[in-house]
Chain A
Amino acid sequence: MIYALRHRTTYDYESRVTFARCVLRLTPRASATQTVMETLLEITPTPSRLFERLGPFGEMTTTVVIDTPHKSLIIEAHSRVDVHTPSGQLDFGAPWESIRARGLETVDLGCDGPASYLYPGVRTPIVPAITDYARLSFPAGRGVVQAASDLMRRIRHDFVYDPKATDVRTPPAEAFAVKRGVCQDFAHIMICGLRGLGLSARYVSGYLRTIPPAGQPRLEGADATHAWVSVWCGAERGWIGFDPTNDIVVQDDHIVLASGRDYSDVAPIDGIILAPGKQTLKVEVDVIPQEELRLLRPAFGAKVT
């Protein structure tokens, strides 16, 4: 499935900003199941320095330095991505305890090995209550895929999607206690549970294909960024994505932007500015499947292709 993506972030500042240094993680990551066909970053004002490199978790990062005085900063990322996850029914996977043992034995220190995603992190501490919650899905000898699917299903069932209940800084223990939150909270909770049992799990940021309600046109900028979990299921199976917000195993509807230990490793924009005043933030996202592109108003699609 081929998608056209547009991700536009606008910062408006109360007073003039004389200097900004940002790390952007807005370029989709290429992998065996995802081909990145085109990417483009448009930044206004134009940065005085811009360099790209591969980040510590395999993500594409772009560092920009802006020293033109400005009162608004617009960062717009465009890309075209082909997602091609092999379809078919998943088996149950190897017993989860054996996967845990393999994770500790790995000789892969790289970002796609399991070793970096085994331990608690700043945003994903070990919370005994969450570990015990996860434990119910992991009876002895159960296949790791089956067990993780079960945990994902239970989170979808037991938690309420509620954007007002949490914000970007809410610790997982709090969201777990109120059983409410958004995709970020559910992903963090699932990761805490899996790591609490010694399994390797990573946080994935990206986009989800949305289907407009029947008979209605797609609204411009109405899509959103999304987050889910990827679980290491052994060297042969590799990483499998689980989306606890929607209770679906990740296939061609999910487009990966970046993955890391938790949200702080993949935040699309990290930055500091020299400025005394307030700032406001607006984000617009479009995720458009290729077959819909030609149906759209020319102005809307033209920008992307």
Chain B
Amino acid sequence: MPPEAASPAVAPPSLDPAGAERLTAWLRDYRPIPGVPDELFDATGRPRPHWLHFLGELADYPAGQIRSRFNLATRHIRDTGVSYRIYGEENERSWPINPVPLILDQVEWAKIAAGVEQRARLMESVLGDIYGDGRLVAEGAIPAAAITGSPDFIRPLRGVPPPGGRYLQLYAADLARAPDGRWWVLGDRTQAPSGAGYELENRLVLSRAYPSLYNAMNVERLAPFFDALRKGLASAAERKDPRICLLTPGPFSETYFEQAHLARYLGFLLVEGDDLVVRDGLAYVRTIAGLKRADVLLRRVDADFVDPLELNSASQLGVPGLLEAIRGGGVSVLNLPGSGVLESKALLGFLPRLCRRLLGEELKMPNVATWWCGQPAERALVRSRGDLAIAPAFNGTQTSDPFSRPRLMSDLSAKERAEFLRRLDDRPGDFVGQEVVRLSTMPVLRDDTLAAAPFVLRVYAAATPDGGFQIMPGGFCRTSDLMDVRAISMGEGARTADVWVISDKPVERVSLLANQDEVKVRRLMGHLPSRAADNLFWLGRYLERAEATLRLVRSLCTSLMDSEAAVHTSGETLSKLEELLIDWGALDEDSLGVRALEAARAALHDDEASGSVVTLIRRARRTAASMRERLSADFWTLLLNLENGFNDPSLRLVSEADALQQVESTLQILAALSGLAQENMNRAAGWRFLDMGRRIERAINTCRFTRALAHADATTDDLDLLLDLVDSQITYRARYLVGLAMTPVRDMVMLDPFNPRSMAFQVFALRDHLAALPSLVDDGMMEPPSRVLRVLSTEIETALAVDIDADAVHRFEGSLLSLSTAIADRFFLQGANAVPTIKLVGLA
């Protein structure tokens, strides 16, 4: 590109000698590939000024600081951010972030933005025709068969005006800079473009790692784009203050955390298909306060899966009747199911003509030359040229097929080539031939060396309320570690980079702060979805159960170490502890009678055992992960710390003291977690469910401990242990100087409303929670959970400790279990009142 296009005139930074030396070394060792355009060096081999500015400042950081700053920022964001996955570390986000962003000046960016904006308009217009009056096909501008091959051609929505007036809310184009220096479109994302959330994360990391540099370079902010996205979605609703949901395929989805992050950032409700129902042509979210209208769905579920009734009947991810609701205009789903039809490579070759025809404009940014083999002349051309790539014309073909991904003709073996040509003869419409695109390179920093790496850039456009599109000044950039610059070798990319668009004037500091006058003050976040209530409740239960198990293990260890309290050394108490652990599922049944250390080890670390501490902690973290958007960053970080303590392979428990130490440190984190929940969580319904889970679990556990240790034949050792387990030793000793006796112990652990560890205390707390939650009935009758609880609490209030025998405790425990079921039935998706949705059996 011509040197004068490189803009803002930035004075070369004044470096200290070490920095200057480093910069010189970086530039000296940087090797662009001959004949391939590079972002750092211009065509004359000189570094572009904005890159020089950035690298100069970067080099100026004291040695070792870049990496430590960057690592610190990355770790922080990773711990609190979007990249954490549920199912094991191996699935964690696959792309590390490049410490160097892709830097584009405004002149360059203006071209990209104009090209993407035009393309977004073109896409909207083509969709309007395909699903509208169909003139493009009828008049021969697009062959019908170039459309029908796409699994995203959703026939039931032909002729349906899109609710909200448009098909696309979010569009993205994958771009590459070709050898001629121009930007080319590699492909279009019209279904549900991913990656915008990752770009938010990348931006957070870089702006934290180099805050002053970020501010000094006038980097365009991302917030206005996301604001436009949100306003665009809101404008698609019928109601003025719409409820907007992000429809996700759920935690198994590859990009689930990106979706959760976006939902949280944008303030949308994250919902899965079975959180939603369609009634009378409208869509609703199931919440603890009943069905609440869902006005707009930002769709991340593939079109074919959104409605098992009218589309793929095997789908578990959709909402039965959703298409009917769309047809009736009762819900806006964006991008509208069916928009993905434009992702087909078959259509790429037709776009320049379509642009002229529909917009009366020349395509500003060319796409890769593509020939759909469904046309005879194009097929002949593809057959005759050995230098092309071949690719499936449509998405979603069988993945076991060797031709289901792009291949270079020249890479095919003789056998594969013959096979391909036969397939081409049999079903020509399944393939396209494409010019092989060569990518440009940008700098990546690896081990303090600057290297050139091929990259692809995804740029996003969001529809605005006025019908236009706003372009995100930035994007999702992926770089490859291979030096192969053919786009086809790129795959999913190895790393990502933030994308900085450099303004020549200082940028306004904006965040997602709305105009003051528009904001209606509200104190509660709307109705809690039933699924979230369920997850919070179980998170509370898992954490509490982990704590109880830890206390058992602690007693197990101290019984052998505590010389003074030789009390517990008797084999009897040891075996009682082991029995409790077995009952719990923390130990397997054969473990009865093993040495205390062995039992402690297993109860802490046996990941096969359903009730071991490690299993409970992992469950807690998974449960939390599926509602990541509802938990504070601190809470999440503590949960991760909790689990990390159990993942460290170097941690070996060789003595009771080791085990005890781990128990203590884990209990401390648990205490910090419950402290956070008490002090920092909003007193809304979500907190209540978390606390209810904790309370009910603690009450049940206290009953179990009491039954095992305060039965009729209990010894003072047993009672002593019981006080340890329910953490009431000090209170008891202070209150009763006479020593251990059955009745006062039973009173203190079961009935005492002032002891925060007693069963009674938990039950009264539960009563307060239920009273504060919404009721679904208006006939003055009590809902079942309240009814169960009323009986239980009355019994506790009126009971005398002398009457609390094993049977009574057993009865309390039974009531608590019924209460838990009643809560599940009333509030959660899988409860008995929310009956499962099942398919009618087929073949009638």
B147 touches A270 (CB 8 A): no
Chain A 245-275 near chain B by CB (<8 Å), digits 1 or 0: 0000000000000000000100111111111
- In the bound complex, residues from chain A placing their C-beta under 8 Å from that of B148 are 109, 115-116, 118-119
Q: Choose among A11, A23, A197, A281 the residue that contacts B310 (Cβ–Cβ < 8 A).
A: A23
Contact stretch, chosen from B259-267, B422-430, B535-543: B422-430
> Is B117 positioned at the interface, with any CB of A under 8 Å from its CB?
no
Inter-chain CB contacts under 8 Å: number: 137
Contact stretch, chosen from A28-36, A99-107, A211-219: A99-107
The CB with the most chain B CB atoms within 10 A, among A9, A125, A274, is that of A274
CA distance A287 to B469 in the complex (A): 58
Looking at chain A, what size class is its interface with the partner chain?
Answer: 35 or more
- In the bound complex, residues from chain A placing their C-beta under 8 Å from that of B841 are 279, 281
Q: Which residue of A lies closest to B393 (CB)?
A: A119
CA distance A225 to B313 in the complex (A): 21
Q: Which residue of A lies closest to B144 (CB)?
A: A115
- In the bound complex, residues from chain B placing their C-beta under 8 Å from that of A125 are 398
- Cβ of B835 to closest chain A Cβ, rounded Å: 4
- In the bound complex, residues from chain B placing their C-beta under 8 Å from that of A270 are 309-310, 313, 839-840, 842
> Is A63 positioned at the interface, with any CB of B under 8 Å from its CB?
yes
The CB with the most chain B CB atoms within 10 A, among A7, A56, A119, A197, is that of A119
Q: Which residue of A lies closest to B394 (CB)?
A: A119
A274 touches B835 (CB 8 A): yes
Q: Which residue of A lies closest to B328 (CB)?
A: A51
> Is A276 positioned at the interface, with any CB of B under 8 Å from its CB?
yes
Q: Which residue of A lies closest to B138 (CB)?
A: A107
Q: Choose among B143, B156, B843 the residue that contacts A56 (Cβ–Cβ < 8 A).
A: B156
Q: Is chain B's binding surface mostly helix, strand, loop or mixed?
A: loop
- Cβ of B704 to closest chain A Cβ, rounded Å: 30
CA distance A37 to B486 in the complex (A): 63
> Is A85 positioned at the interface, with any CB of B under 8 Å from its CB?
no
A273 touches B840 (CB 8 A): yes
A104 touches B375 (CB 8 A): yes
Chain B 141-172 near chain A by CB (<8 Å), digits 1 or 0: 00111011100000110100000000000000
B158 touches A118 (CB 8 A): no
- In the bound complex, residues from chain A placing their C-beta under 8 Å from that of B155 are 56-57, 111, 116
B320 touches A272 (CB 8 A): yes
- In the bound complex, residues from chain B placing their C-beta under 8 Å from that of A109 are 130, 134, 137-138, 144, 147-148
B314 touches A107 (CB 8 A): no
- Chain B, range 292-340, C-beta contacts under 8 Å to A: 308-310, 312-314, 320-321, 324
- Cβ of B539 to closest chain A Cβ, rounded Å: 26
- Cβ of A47 to closest chain B Cβ, rounded Å: 13
- Cβ of A195 to closest chain B Cβ, rounded Å: 8
Q: A118-B148, A118-B149, A276-B836 are in contact. Are A126 and B139 (CB under 8 A)?
A: no
> Is B376 positioned at the interface, with any CB of A under 8 Å from its CB?
yes
> Is B18 positioned at the interface, with any CB of A under 8 Å from its CB?
no
Q: Choose among A22, A197, A276 the residue that contacts B835 (Cβ–Cβ < 8 A).
A: A276
- In the bound complex, residues from chain A placing their C-beta under 8 Å from that of B843 are 168, 184, 267, 281, 283
CA distance A120 to B427 in the complex (A): 11
> Is B648 positioned at the interface, with any CB of A under 8 Å from its CB?
no
A22 touches B143 (CB 8 A): no
A198 touches B149 (CB 8 A): no
Can you give 14 A-B contacts (C-beta < 8 A)?
A21-B320, A106-B143, A106-B145, A109-B134, A109-B138, A113-B144, A114-B145, A118-B145, A126-B398, A168-B843, A196-B426, A198-B428, A272-B840, A279-B841
Inter-chain pairs besides A107-B144, A270-B313, A272-B838, 11 sampled, C-beta below 8 Å: A101-B376, A107-B139, A119-B429, A125-B398, A195-B427, A267-B842, A268-B844, A270-B309, A275-B836, A275-B838, A276-B832
